[in-house]
Amino acid sequence: MTAIPHDGATEAARQIIHHHAVLRRGLEQRTGALCGAAGSGAPFGRPLADLRAYLDAEILPHAGAEERTLYQAAASQARGSELVRALVAEHRDLAGLVARLQGPAEGAEAAWTAESIATLFAAHAAKENDLLLPALLSSGADLAGLLTDMQTALAAGPAAAGEGC
Ligand SMILES: [Fe+2]
Ligand SMILES: [Fe+2]
């Protein structure tokens, strides 16, 4: 994510939606490479390692950072506790699937797990775009400030971003 000018909550929401799209495409591309190799019987160690690295470097830290910023604000300011509980549960489901990709795997199993991760992430990010962000916007939460906090947590590394996802 790039640093944002303080143009207001709507611009912050646009940047979050854009970043979700970037993450979704990054995940789909790597999942496609893994599934293509595994499906054709080609060596899939490299695309699997690439996918694992992307999950560890981008997807999991993103989830951890938003739990500490957007989710906390939604629960406390936007009466979004129920939605936040559901989103946190999806982070845990994602983490469970990611854990399955660690260690040795058959190609078909790794491909199936990767597709499950990509599908879950796409639906999850859509929920954040369509439900979480509007709730935060309508509550008057300082979305630009929250995005800055999220970027700071991500820049500081996994510990600051939280265990999340
Ligand atoms: Fe999330
Ligand atoms: Fe997200």
* Structural domain contains residue 29: yes
Q: pLDDT tens across 4-42, in order?
A: 444 688 999 999 999 999 999 999 999 999 999 999 999
* Structural domain contains residue 4: no
CA distances from 72 to 5, 88, 136, 141 (A): 23, 11, 11, 11
Q: Which residues surround ligand 1, an ion (CB under 5 A)?
A: 63
Query: What is the structure's pLDDT at 4?
Result: 43
* Structural domain contains residue 2: no
Ligand 2 mean position, distance from CA 24 (Å):
10
Q: Which ligand is nearest to the CA of 18?
A: 2
* Structural domain contains residue 52: yes
* Structural domain contains residue 103: yes
Instruction: Tell me what percent of the residues of the chain surpass a pLDDT of 90.
Output: 81
Ligand 1 mean position, distance from CA 71 (Å):
9
* Structural domain contains residue 53: yes
Ligand 2 mean position, distance from CA 95 (Å):
14
* Structural domain contains residue 54: yes
The residue type at 78 = A
* Structural domain contains residue 117: yes
Q: How many domains does the chain have?
A: 1
Q: Where is 138: in which H helix or E strand? A: helix 133-139
The residue segments making up the domain with residue 106 are: 9-160
